[in-house]
Amino acid sequence: MPPTSHEIRKTFLDYFKRRKHAVVASSSLIPAGDPTLLFTNAGMVQFKDVFLGREKREYARAVTSQKCMRVSGKHNDLENVGPSPRHHTFFEMLGNFSFGDYFKKDAIKFAWELLTEYYGMDPARLWFTIFEGDDEVSADEEAAELWVKAGAAPERVLRFSRKDNFWQMGETGPCGPCSEIHYYRGERPKDPKYNRREYVNGDGGETLEIWNLVFMQFNRFADGDAFKLEPLPRPSVDTGAGLERVTMVLQNKPSNYDTDLFKPILEQTRKLLGQDKAAMEKQLASYRVIADHSRAVAFLTADGVIPGNEGRNYILRLILRRAARHGQMLGFTEPFLTQVLPTVIEIMGDQYPELAKRRDVILKTTLQEEQRFQATLKTGSALLDELVADLKAKNKTQISGADAFKLHDTYGFALELTRDIAREYGMTVDEPGFRQAMEAQADRSRAASTLGAADAGDEATYNAVKDQVAPASVQHDPYSWTEIETQVAGILREGALVDEAKIGDAVEIVLPQTCFYVESGGQVSDTGRLVKYANVADGAEIEDANVVWAIEITEARRPIPGLIVHIGKVVKGAPRVGERAVAEVDRLRRWDIMRNHTATHLLHRELRYVLGEHVQQGGSLVAPERFRFDFTHNAMLTQDELDRIEESVNDAVLADFAVLPIETNYRDAVASGAMALFTEKYGERVRVIQVGYPPRFYSQELCGGTHVTRTSQIGSFRILSESSIGSGLRRIEATTGRGVSKLLREGLGRLERTAAYLRTSAEQVDRKVLDLMSERDAAQKEIERLRRDLALRDLDGLLQHIHLVNDISILSAQVQVANADMLREIGDSLKDKIGSGIIVLGAAIDGKPSLIVMVTQDLIAQGYDAVQIIRPIARIIGGGGGGRAAMAQAGGKDAERLPEAIAQAPSLITKK
């Protein structure tokens, strides 16, 4: 019996675990701290800084089963998903890694042994490729010899060019040859005619790559206008094998979609449709799209991505809607993906528990987006159908870029969706034209924006500063002190290093020791002063007269790794490089920030407790006056929920819990239950903020910010607002401590002033306001009654406005009414009085023009229609109207032109 995908994955991980590899959990699909990547697209992504030497881990060998997405950039498989039997958006990458430990010999031995002995693959079906060499790097004959030594036949080791068998991280950096393993799936593995290189790295569907071993042995660096290679002091190994392909081979299936990773999803879709297997085979591409995309939707949503219009949010929206549309093509008329996703969770949940943990948010988010898409498809499809019909009539086969952009911008049709639909009609889309329209809109947005900021220096400048004046390692401790003695190591003014600055200069200061918190993790930077004091006798009071020079620090930031600059302005004296000084953080402001930051942890805990475990932090901004906290949730919070959350946070404040920062390794922190943000990048050693007492802490979060030492120091907590900032994403703004005191002080002041205005006590203000509102409502009703009576009494006067046009009585007049109901009532009364005719009435209601047209039944029979009559009249006031033949209404924008509209009405009346 063939192994299950779960057994195949476990065999891989266990094999390397027994060979002293640390089993490292998959990182999030959202790459932490790497803005160059939209998604994690390979197993090595979470180890990138380790390979580059920027980060050290407690292990030199690792093995993972990594969640990956390839839907953007050069690794974009979206177009192939469905038609292809083995292309996917989401997939798992099995990989083993060596960080300067073993190299080619062991990597090749491990791969051969695992494939042939543990997985039982026939060596006669395996092909191995190596780098053939070029002018820059010689052929990798070492790898060829090692494959033969491991057991491969020499003729099964093939040599290919740099395009296929040389890997590099970027234009510069680690690089090296790679060796791929290909598997032949045909019927005659020993037939000489298949012993040809074109079946490897070719188009033949029977031979496929299953594993790639990358040997990082060189560093590529720029040397003038050229690039050179130098050997790495500690060569490393990065390998990747697609679980889906390995499973297809070991389960001997014709495609990835026939394995146990996909088959249950296909079957669930078929059962929901009530189709037989023959019907499914006829529409297999759409079934595959749903199976693949539902996995991507589940994993992306579990990792905190929500459907939106930009970046990875756009990609989730795109693939979710693409799956929904293929469902509609199969026959689904209602949202269906929420009935498919539980199968994905069931298949993958054991390996990835976040799927079951976030099941509710996955299903809710998907349902909401699918419902939105149904409405979008209904409106956008009508326009697209018109475009297609028009193009066919003109014998054209391409949708213009402008029209494709209109579908995207107005109706939310992704270019990929328009392209799919166009293909069904045998048409194409002008994609360069679409991009031009997109860029034109971006240019307009940039031109309209007044936002901008001047950089104090570019990366090259900061690298020079780091090399010339920065200490080898900065002593940065924002946790223990708010004041520290230090020395001016460098002064940067207008992008250049200087020895001295003067009053008024804007500067960036480099210090070897600092206690300023550098903005990160959502917490703003500290502010304060850098001061040089004159000699003061011990015990003497320091006064301004003792200050030799001072710099007001407005921000501390880290422009490049390894460099901290303190941005500020010289307010006294002339600071010089090399002088001793005192770095002083604004203590009151720091305390406000600490209160707010610890409160975000308490709020996060209570949101998960009150709303559910699906809540995840989406971002935050911790400032001194207030903080904002973004989180995933699919509905507006009720007042009861907000009250419960606020009360519970204040209870935690009053409980006087200890707030304890500890340092530990990342794996132990997460295993202990500490919350981690998907979007944050963590090193091997992390800082955990524990609130409460073991063994069950009130809150545990990975966090590098500054915090109070006990929750009682927060003082009090108040929610200021709760709002939506996108689909499935909410925002709470709140304040603590002095912010709450200020809020109470200002609120009580307003209450006391209001009480004085109302000539009552503060306790009776609400009762007094209710009484006044009741009196106002009664007075308003009386005014409306009087207006109505006056208007109805003046009906005879209105009859004086009748004009005879073509023997038809036309009454057009402007009246004073309070609302549209009164306007209709006057019209009905006039209609009864004239017996036969057309009535046109206008009024300015709350400053906006309103019109009504009524036509008696005898004139309707002659071809007069109130809707047709009102439209040209309404255009005069900048509006439009609608209704029935007997009565139509219209609104407008220009009340000043209402008399003109009424005056012209008789001349504008025509039959249908």
Token output for 289: 């799209």
Helix 820-834 with 765-793: angle, nearest 10 deg:
20
Confidence at residue 194, expressed as pLDDT on a 0 to 100 scale: 55
Query: Is the peptide bond prior to 695 cis by the omega test (within 30 degrees of 0)?
Result: yes
Question: Which among 135, 143, 179, 147 has a CA at the least distance from the CA of 160?
Answer: 179
* Token pair belonging to 728: 């499935």
pLDDT tens, residue by residue, 233-272: 889 999 999 999 999 999 999 999 999 999 999 999 999 9
Which residue in the block uniquely carries the two structure tokens 């002083």? 584
Report the relative pairing of strands 157-160 and 126-131 from DSSP bridges: parallel
* Cα separation, 399 vs 391, whole angstroms: 8
Report, as ranges of residue numbers, the positions in the chain whose pLDDT lies below 70. Answer: 33-36, 72-77, 86, 188-198, 202-205, 442-458, 536-545, 678-681, 791, 912
> Judging by beta carbons within 10 Å of its beta carbon (0-12, 13-18, 19+), is residue 322 exposed, middle or buried?
buried
Burial of 513 (0-12, 13-18, 19+ CB in 10 A): middle
Distances (CA, A) of 362 to 116, 607, 623, 768: 40, 18, 32, 49
- What is the residue type of 696? R
Helix (H, G, I), strand (E, B) or coil at 659: strand
- pLDDT number for residue 446: 47
Give the count of alpha carbons within 13 A of 508, CB side only.
23
Residue 566 to residue 478: CA distance in whole angstroms: 13
Predicted pLDDT of residue 190: 57
- Tokens representing 731? 């925002």
Give me the DSSP letters along 152-182.
--GGGEEEE-HHHHEEESSSSEEEEEEEEEE
Q: Around Cβ 577, how many Cβ atoms within 10 Å?
A: 17
Q: Supply the Cα-derived Rg of the chain in whole angstroms.
A: 36
Give the pLDDT confidence score for residue 541 in this predicted structure: 58
pLDDT at 454: 31
Q: Give the residues across from 804 on adjacent strands.
A: 809
Locate tokens 């002008």: which residue? 430
**The residue to which tokens 């004159």 are assigned:** 534
Helices vs. strands in the chain: H and E counts, helices first: 27, 36
99 neighbors 236 (Cβ within 8 angstroms): yes
- Per residue in 341-369, pLDDT (tens digit) is 999 999 999 999 999 988 988 998 899 88
Task: Report DSSP state, residue 274.
Answer: T
Tokens for 159?
Answer: 């040599």
Alpha-helical (H) ranges within 18-139 are 48-51, 104-113
The conformation of residue 544, written as its DSSP 8-state character, comes to: G
| pLDDT score recorded for residue 135 | 85
> What is the pTM assigned to this prediction?
0.65
How many CA atoms lie within 13 Å of 283's alpha carbon, on the beta-carbon side? 19
Complete domains list, the chain, with CATH: 5-254 (3.30.930.10), 263-374 (no CATH), 459-585 (2.40.30.130), 591-744 (3.30.980.10), 797-908 (3.10.310.40)
**What proportions of the chain, in percent to the nearest 5, are helix, strand and coil?**
45, 25, 30
Burial label, 746 (beta-carbon count in 10 A; 0-12, 13-18, 19+):
exposed
C-alpha atoms less than 13 angstroms from C-alpha of 897 in its C-beta half-sphere: 14
Could you give the CA distance from residue 410 to residue 891 in angstroms, rounded to a whole number? 25
- The label of the residue with tokens 């946070």 reads 649
pLDDT of residue 450: 32
CA distance 511 to 490: 7
Residue carrying structure tokens 């990975």: 702
d(C-alpha 559, C-alpha 540), whole Å: 39
